[in-house]
Structure 1
Amino acid sequence: MAELHLGESMHRSDAVAKIKHYAGPPEYPYRSCRRYAPRKSENGEQEAPMPHADDESALALATEQQIYDVVEPLGDSDRIGRAKVLLARGLSPPIVPDRQITLRPIATEESWNRYADERVAVEADFGVTESRARAMVDELRQRAKRVGMTLFFAVAGHDVVGAIGHFKVSVPHGDCVRLQEVDIFPQWRGRGYGTSMLLEMLHHVAIQGCITAVIGADEDDWPLDWYRRHDFFDVLRVRSARH
């Protein structure tokens, strides 16, 4: 098992090295929180408890390092309500989608322009200007190219209702997938498309050989509880880029 010393920033190469012995997700489908284990000093006396990271924690950290060069893990009492939570879930038994949604890769200039238009509407809910939203999409395209991320439109019938992306991190017994940019566009919310899109993506990556899915959510944002309701469990807290 990998051991993380919280409060120390970690570089991408360090995080990737920690997953070399990853043996796959646990047999149980989810866990409510990250486990702790006390450490002992050289003379055998127990020191103050230190967080003990399991394989999923190291794996989640490695995916975060693909996005940000330096990531600072946090203890459970640090920056309450102002941190980012990394969550994971196993992809076995197979995910059964409800087939409301099909996934269409965003690969052409036309489709990226369509995505940028939709992203303007999404970010407007957070007070982001149109020019800044379009700049964010440009940054996303650069990041997608760097980490090998594929972004998809979620299509219901003939309507584009949302978008979701993923990239993979290889481990000895299969791939881990990191989900990113999960959005149902404003005019289509409240119709169950979010769950359908998520299940369709999990099914899509599972049949490609992925064994674990990882996602991140800020503690002060509603998607955190939504992911938990969909069998993702907390594995690590890190400093949020928003705070």
Structure 2
Amino acid sequence: MSDVLLHLATTAEWREHLTAGVIAPSVAEFVHLSTPDQVALPANRLFAGRTDLNLLVLDPGRIGVEVRFEPGLPTDPASMRFPHAYGAIPVHAVLAVVPYRPAPGDGFGTPVLPRTDAAGRLSAFEPSLLRRVATAEVPVTGGVAVRTDPVPASHRHNRLLIDGATDAATVLADAERTGLARVTLSGAGHAATATALADAGRRVTALVGMAGPAGGVRGRTEVVDVEALRPTWDAEWRRYGVDDAVVAQLTDRLLLEERVVDLRPLALRVDGEVVASAVLRIDGATADLDGLEVVPAHRGRGHGDALLADARAIAAGAGCDLVTLSAAADDHPRSWYARRGLAEVHRSWEIDPS
């Protein structure tokens, strides 16, 4: 059996699977799967021209039902056998969700898949999320540029996402061509390019991706809806000097994200007041934690510890085995998370105008 197996799903279909908790057989009595070297065949046959298709990267050991390798259609190569899963597959068997796009004029080809260790899953998470949310994407050297029209003020959702080979001059040219000034360079191999962009006058922020196991016992943290935390988040953004015209979009973008992932806003209250909050994004077996903040007047009382521990427990309850997050390489939260058992597994750089 292949190291991983793949299932084709549109962005909307994957969101439905997340809600259901399983990938269930539809018309046939089994779930259609493919190996990486054969997935282009059913993709071109069933999804020709679609730009909202994804590869669900499955761990065969977590599928939990019988998988049989059987013939496909009569028009398929006689020697080809496709994996069929006879029963519903739990969504926590999905290690990564990889956007799968056809090449103009050529259709779908053999995919490039991320590694399935913690570093690979972490590095795949955010670009996949942003591409599924985006209203448009444009190929650039080493990656794609994403634009999300409903939230133009969200730097996170309007940028170049680069994980392949490039250089500083090419990055600047692609940024000018796409009209997007902000860039993420993902992977330690981009260190020299990040330095060159800093020398060219761009503001460069080094980030570390951190990961640790899900687990533990949940405490007082609540899972609420986005709107319940909008006042808390609005106040936090204003404290950082964000203009009122922009503040609303920074919460609105989460409403867009919850259409494509299992998004769980987290709130920790004391005497009815929200004293700590964060966002947990669950995408198959991986949960990503973002924006953990404690209200300034309540810091130093262990609320951040309690929320982090609860986030890991909530992730485990959803079937996740891995929790990831990003932190600035030169800021205090990096060491704070490290002391709580999250290890550095990835490097990236955010490039912004000066």
> Normalising to structure 2: TM-score of the pair?
0.47
Q: Are 1:167 and 2:277 matched, yes or no?
A: no
Q: Are 1:187 and 2:294 matched, yes or no?
A: no
Bigger Rg, which one: 2
Gaps of 5+ in 1: 3-11, 25-52
Letter in 2 for 1:85: V
Tell me if structure 2 keeps the 8 A contact 1:166–1:180.
Answer: yes
Segments of 4+ in structure 1 off by > 6 A? none
Deviations 1:21-65 (A, max 9, x none): 4979xxxxxxxxxxxxxxxxxxxxxxxxxxxx6711111122112
How far, CA to CA, are the matches of 2:206 and 2:301 in structure 1?
A: 30
Tell me if structure 1 keeps the 8 A contact 2:262–2:283.
Answer: no
Query: How far apart are 1:198 and its partner, in Å?
Result: 0.8
Q: Are 1:106 and 2:219 matched, yes or no?
A: no
Deviations 1:155-197 (A, max 9, x none): 2342221222222222xxxx22111232222332222101111
Q: Are 1:126 and 2:240 matched, yes or no?
A: yes
Letter in 2 for 1:215: L
How far, CA to CA, are the matches of 1:242 and 1:221 in structure 2?
A: 18
- Equivalent residue number for residue 139 of structure 1: 253
Query: How far apart are 1:119 and its partner, in Å?
Result: 1.6
Letter in 2 for 1:95: G
Tell me if structure 1 keeps the 8 A contact 2:264–2:281.
Answer: yes
Letter in 2 for 1:201: A
How far, CA to CA, are the matches of 1:130 and 1:121 in structure 2?
A: 10
1:236 to 320, 325, 346: 346
| Paired-residue identity, % | 19
Gaps of 5+ in 2: 5-51, 63-114, 132-143, 145-160, 163-185, 196-203
How far, CA to CA, are the matches of 2:276 and 2:352 in structure 1?
A: 23
Letter in 2 for 1:203: A
Tell me if structure 2 keeps the 8 A contact 1:151–1:164.
Answer: yes
Query: How far apart are 1:219 and its partner, in Å?
Result: 2.2
CA RMSD of aligned residues (A): 3.2
Deviations 1:142-161 (A, max 9, x none): 22323331212222342221
2:212 partner SS? strand
How far, CA to CA, are the matches of 2:321 and 2:254 in structure 1?
A: 25
Tell me if structure 2 keeps the 8 A contact 1:104–1:154.
Answer: no
